[in-house]
Each structure stands twice: as C-alpha cells, then as structure tokens.
Amino acid sequence: LERTLVMIKPNMISKSDQIIPEIEQAGFVILQQRRVRFTPEQASDFYAEHYGKMFFPSLIAFMSSGPTLAMVVAKRNAINGFRQILGPTNSEQAREVNPKSFRARYGTDTLKNAMHGSESQHAAEREIRFIFPDSITE
Ligand code: ATP
C-alpha cells in the first residue's frame, strides 16, 4: 500500500464532513488526520518549491487564512490514484476535463482549488513528515 498526503484547504474545510466519506468511498483508508493552522512561515516551507513564482504570496496568504485538514491516506497506487480524483490544478479546467473530480466540484479557481494531493513519492514522504513529524516512516 502506498501513502499520500491529502489536505482540505481553508476554503473547503467546512465541507470536510461531506468530502471525507467521498475519499473513503474511493477506496482510500485514512491513517492519520490532523487540523493544522499554517502560519505564513510554515506555509512558505510547505510550498518552498514555488518560492519566487508570481502566485507565491497569494498562495501563502490563502493557506494561512484559516485551518486546513491534513490526512495521510493509503491505497494501492495512492499517489496517482488520488491525483486522478483530485483533478487538474485549475478548478475551471477540472470542470471541463473531469467534472466528477474534487476540484471540479469543490474548487473555485486555480488558487482556491479546495484540496491538495502529493504529486510524487518523494513529495509524499516529505509532506507526511512535515505535517506528521512524529509518524513512523520506513
Ligand atoms: P497541490 O500541490 O496543492 O496539490 P498542484 O500540484 O495541482 O496542487 P502546484 O503547481 O503544485 O499544483 O501548485 C500548488 C498550489 O499553488 C496549487 O494547488 C494552487 O493552490 C496554487 N497555484 C498553482 N498555480 C497557480 C497559479 N497559476 N495561480 C494561482 N495559484 C496557483
């Protein structure tokens, strides 16, 4: 089983009760769950790869604007599998190419796209360690 980090971003945390059963119905097992309120500094560390990009300041402001629900979820091929049901970064594009995806249904635009899912094994390991520093990893 592979693990990936999923987050419900601040604009959609109020929909968690609706979103969590959908994640489970898609075959993912939620191993850990935690509400995090990112400081701007923590959000900058989490999204360090985007430092210097035009959207970085708005991304940091958005991600520290309220609590986020972070989860470690497991399934066979969890990383790619979750990216599939997540949909593309731009929520409007998601509504065109994958209308059933989370971002199509819950996202607003490219910034406020409702949810996050790790994009690679390397990213998943780093992000899980970042949010759940005391979790046991192999
Ligand atoms: P995530 O990493 O959150 O799962 P992603 O891998 O689809 O999303 P990235 O390119 O890693 O997208 O960007 C990280 C986040 O930064 C996006 O989810 C979105 O909130 C924001 N973002 C990315 N590109 C833009 C953009 N052009 N304009 C505004 N915000 C953006």
Q: Tell which one of 63, 84, 113, 122 to mutate to probe ligand 1, the residue whose CB is within 8 A of the most ligand atoms.
A: 113
Q: What is the mean pLDDT of residues 55-66?
A: 98
pLDDT over threshold 60, residue 37: yes
Q: Is 112 annotated as a binding residue?
A: no
Query: Which ipTM did the prediction report?
Result: 0.94
Mean pLDDT, to the nearest integer, of 31-57? 97
Query: Within 13 Å, how many C-alpha atoms sit on residue 15's CB side?
Result: 16
Hunting for tokens 């968690």 — which residue is that?
16
Q: How many folded domains does the chain comprise?
A: 1
First to last CA, the chain: 13
In a domain, 22, yes or no: yes
pLDDT value at position 86?
A: 98
- Which residues does 33 contact at the CB level (< 8 Å), separation at least 6? 69, 70, 71, 72
pLDDT at 134: 82
φ, ψ at 116 (rounded to 5°): -125, 145
**Per-chain mean pLDDT for the chain:** 96
CA 68, CA 10: separation in Å to the nearest integer? 5
CATH, residue 25:
3.30.70.141
Q: Is the pLDDT of residue 10 over 90?
A: yes
Domain hosting residue 48, numbered range: 2-131
Distance, in Å, from the CA atom of 82 to the CA atom of 102, rounded to the nearest integer, reads 10
Report whether 56 belongs to an annotated binding site: no
The pLDDT assigned to 137 comes to: 57
Separation of 55 CA from ligand 1 center, angstroms?
9
Residue 88 Rama label (left phi>0; alpha psi -120 to 50; beta): beta
Closest-CA residue, ligand 1 atom 5, reads: 89
Query: Does residue 107 lie within any of the structural domains?
Result: yes
Structure token digits, residue 83:
């990216």
Judge whether 22 and 68 are in contact, CB under 8 Å: no
d(CA 17, CA 14): 8
In-domain check, residue 136: no
Report pLDDT digits (tens) over 82-138. Answer: 999 999 999 999 999 999 999 999 999 999 999 999 999 999 999 999 999 987 655
